[in-house]
Amino acid sequence: MNNHVLPAGSRVRVISYGPFRELKGTIRKVDTIPGLEAGEAFCFYLVELEGTHIKEPIWFECDEVELVDCQSSDDERDLAGSLASTRHATPFLPSNEH
């Protein structure tokens, strides 16, 4: 179980297998259930997803999402790839040297 409860407003990515896998969103509400062992908690996150036609937030178990940085490594990798492809797509300009 997860000991660390993420606060509302945190950016997360869905990691569970299902139709929402890899989608990102923002936690809107946290519902915590105290665990049976000391210091252990189980929680559900109400997540507003991005990039889906579903307008209402969806509940996920704590183990179904992971915290995402403001600019994740995936976003940085995508940005680096797009910059590299732009650089290679520049037409060759012949030099005036012969």
d(CA 15, CA 63) in angstroms, rounded, equals 8
Each residue's pLDDT, cut to its tens digit, for the chain (98 residues) gives 556 889 999 999 999 999 999 999 999 999 998 766 766 778 999 999 998 998 899 999 999 999 998 654 455 445 445 444 444 444 445 556 55
20 Cβ partners below 8 Å, 6+ apart? 14, 49, 52, 58, 60
Q: Judge whether 68 and 51 are in contact, CB under 8 Å.
A: no
Closest by alpha carbon to 56, among 46, 66, 65, 64? 46
CA 42 to chain CA centroid, Å, is 21
User: Is 2.60.120 the CATH number for 11-88?
Assistant: no
pLDDT at 74: 52
pLDDT at 94: 56
pLDDT at 33: 85
d(CA 26, CA 12) in angstroms, rounded, equals 6
pLDDT at 41: 72
